[in-house]
Structure 1
Amino acid sequence: MSNSPTQIELIQPDDWHLHIRDGAVMKDVLADTARQFARAIIMPNLKPPVTTVGLAKAYKARIQANLNALGISAFTPLMILYLTDTTSVDEVRKAKDAGIAGFKLYPAGATTNSDAGVSDLKHCHAVLEEMQSVGMPLLVHGEVTSPEIDIFDREAVFIDSVLEPLRQHFPELKVVFEHLTTKQAAHYVRDAIIGGKNTIAATITPQHLLMNRNAIFSGGIRPHNYCLPVLKREEHRVALLEAATSGNPRFFLGTDSAPHAKGAKETACGCAGCYSAFNALGLYAEAFESQGKFDKLEGFASFFGPDFYSLPRNTQKITLVKQAQNIPAELPLGDATIVPLRAGETIAWSLVEN
């Protein structure tokens, strides 16, 4: 593949980290997502959170009802359970039997709707042992929440104080380090081997590949560029680009697209999250083009995620063309509107609609 093509054909990608919420907004999010992706890992941080197989099945049924209403038959939601201090070993076994894709570790208070998250991993040792035994992945929001730790340092501290001890204690537990934001995290995932095995992988978002923390403050506060983990310095963005475009199978696509209505972002205490579902593949293409690494895009977007999750790769194909796309200033979101990532701007790559 040329490093400067005008058309890219890919095996259809999956999104390995997605928020679709619930209720009236879900249909709009699913419509944007299913245009691009064949499958998506569905985050469980609803109110109340999706903590049991029964709740996951009910949530999946609501998703399927919206897909049916949209006339979409070629999209598969992959369900995740929210890990808590009281999750039981029996629930892990039920989850494995039910085809649940993994459990999500939210340190309590780390991000949107994470108050029910884990207060201390020592409460979860029996559960983690069972997950390791049955091959159930643990997806981690990799930040500590101690107020004395600077917000820009919370991911690096998490590696030393939580992730490395976790992996030493459970060396065969499959771990997905979600939405990397730092050089330290990229290098940790690149280099981490325990017991001669590769049991760790990571997702990287489009916003963390394309923007540094200046984007939050350019000409004033830019609430629609505010997400958690927060954007970091340029050196970290460069390290993430290097990781994503390296061809290393430990790194794969996960948008962390997180819909919040415009009014919930543009307020005195705005919500964290960037909405990239509308144009995610065009944004990733822009990032890979910036490095002259289009030949590495298909692995990152389409192959490495299903390989790590032990799922079959997709077979259908999609096409991106180098054709200017104007990103709307706002999009519908249930009864409200949402401001997508790069709203009002023009990006170079567009998806060919079937």
Structure 2
Amino acid sequence: MSQTSSHAFSDRAAGVTEASAAPAGIRLCRPDDWHLHLRDGAVLRDVVMDSARQFGRAIVMPNLKPPVLTTEDARAYRGRILDALRLAGEREGDVPAFDPLMTLYLTDRTPPDEIRRARESGFVYGVKLYPAGATTHSDAGVTDLLGQCKATLAAMQECGMPLLVHGEVTDPDVDLFDREAVFIERVMQPLRRTFPELKVVFEHLTTADGAAYVAQAEGPIGATLTPQHLLYNRNALFKGGLRPHWYCLPVLKRETHRQALLKAATSGNPRFFLGTDSAPHPRGAKEQDCGCAGCYTARHALALYATAFESVGRLDRLEAFASLHGPAFYGLAPNAGTLTLERVADPIPRNLPLGDDVVVPLAAGESLPWRVRPERGSAAD
């Protein structure tokens, strides 16, 4: 499998040749999702297959109610995910190969010994920093990272456990659109000076400031990029009226920032890799006077990314971003199987089942030019 390019193939019956600028399809090393919300219970059972059909592995966020605080919490949650996948797969007649990579929820009181247990478990791959109040279910998050968590961070640096950061400050005096840039100044720079060998993933980058920082910072650092931040700017929130299903945190930014993120994603720089931040919320929880933040993209994630990469003529860089950079950062081998994207118009459903409600996926009712070719089992060719 090439480390630098995706594999375009031709569809001669459709009049598309291998030399065409518009390939009929792309075959990728099976990708992974390095930032995913699966929730729990009935919601988990309804969403897990959307990710498993496309991704071999996923870093699963720990912000449940109550949060995933310990290695044993993560073990139990992983079991529920695998049970939900098995049940959903049996209903559909196929259980894809999918490995949930678990995370712990960092608090002011997370003990260093818990980090060591997590590292030794073989199934916990990161510890998530939510600044208290930054986003959905973050009330138990960290109030002062270096003031409260130094011993825990030292243990993480020592054993190679990555810190996955939601990169926004929660200071109400800081403008919502500036909170990522201020986080870099107030949190990331002091963190890197204090723990220069700590592995850090800057989750869901949204600004040119963030992309430049990750590209230039010293030490082991990576970043995930979402499909919504590569495809849309903040105007999408208000096109034809207020559109809550485009609302996420960190919020969509100006067009100049979107262009900078797309440039980073398609640059070939191994510090940037795929992380959907797909976050299912019931329709009623989004469409109310204080709607939840989060975009549901799991069902059509790879098609969204392909659309973004094709918009700047860089489909040849999609495989590295989606399938190779993330495993390299986490010290894992790429997946053995493959996945094929085909150029077929794919209308996005207006809603999908979600427990006793429905979820409205990002860009519901619109059509994408790509879809994942249906395959059985592990998607290996």
| Same fold, judged at TM 0.5 (above) | yes
Asked if 1:20 is matched to 2:38, the reply is yes
Name 2:98's counterpart in structure 1.
75
Asked if 1:312 is matched to 2:333, the reply is yes
Name 2:315's counterpart in structure 1.
294
Of the candidates 272, 275, 286, which is equivalent to residue 265 of structure 1? 286
Name 1:187's counterpart in structure 2.
212
Letter in 2 for 1:161: R
Asked if 1:103 is matched to 2:127, the reply is yes
Name 2:252's counterpart in structure 1.
231
Asked if 1:85 is matched to 2:108, the reply is yes
Letter in 2 for 1:39: R
Deviation at 1:73, TM superposition (A): 4.6
TM-score by length of 1: 0.98
Asked if 1:124 is matched to 2:179, the reply is no
Deviation at 1:18, TM superposition (A): 0.2
Name 1:152's counterpart in structure 2.
177
Deviation at 1:36, TM superposition (A): 0.6
Q: Deviations over 1:147-185 (max 9, x none)?
A: 000000000000011001101100000000000000000
Deviation at 1:4, TM superposition (A): 2.7
Of the candidates 190, 195, 203, which is equivalent to residue 178 of structure 1? 203
Name 1:142's counterpart in structure 2.
167
Q: Which runs of 5+ in 2 are unaligned?
A: 1-7, 9-18, 90-94, 376-381
Distance 1:313 1:351 in 2: 19
Deviation at 1:312, TM superposition (A): 1.2
Letter in 2 for 1:91: E
Where does 1:175-254 land on structure 2 (aligned, <5 Å)?
175-193=200-218, 198-254=219-275
Distance 1:134 1:73 in 2: 32
Distance 2:80 2:371 in 1: 30
Distance 2:178 2:51 in 1: 31
Letter in 1 for 2:333: P
Question: SS of the residue aligned with 1:278?
Answer: helix
Q: Deviations over 1:72-119 (max 9, x none)?
A: 250000000000000001101100111210100000000000000000
Q: Percent identity?
A: 64
Where does 1:269-280 land on structure 2 (aligned, <5 Å)?
269-280=290-301
Deviation at 1:70, TM superposition (A): 2.1
Contact 1:22 1:46 in 2 (8 A): yes
Q: Deviations over 1:13-68 (max 9, x none)?
A: 00000000011010111011111111100000000100101111111111111111
Distance 1:7 1:27 in 2: 30
Deviation at 1:205, TM superposition (A): 0.1
Asked if 1:161 is matched to 2:186, the reply is yes
Letter in 2 for 1:332: P
Of the candidates 266, 284, 294, which is equivalent to residue 305 of structure 2? 284
Distance 1:160 1:86 in 2: 24
Name 2:364's counterpart in structure 1.
343
Residues 351 and 73 (structure 1), Cα distance of their counterparts in 2 relative to 1, 3 Å cut: closer
Deviation at 1:6, TM superposition (A): 1.5
Question: SS of the residue aligned with 1:33?
Answer: helix
Contact 1:180 1:203 in 2 (8 A): yes
Where does 1:26-41 land on structure 2 (aligned, <5 Å)?
26-41=44-59
TM-score by length of 2: 0.91
Name 1:112's counterpart in structure 2.
136
Contact 2:52 2:96 in 1 (8 A): no
Distance 1:34 1:64 in 2: 11
Distance 2:371 2:77 in 1: 31
Letter in 2 for 1:141: H
Distance 1:68 1:338 in 2: 22
Letter in 2 for 1:291: V
Contact 1:4 1:292 in 2 (8 A): no
Name 1:55's counterpart in structure 2.
73
Question: SS of the residue aligned with 2:343?
Answer: strand
Contact 2:110 2:149 in 1 (8 A): yes
Contact 2:53 2:96 in 1 (8 A): no
Distance 1:247 1:295 in 2: 10
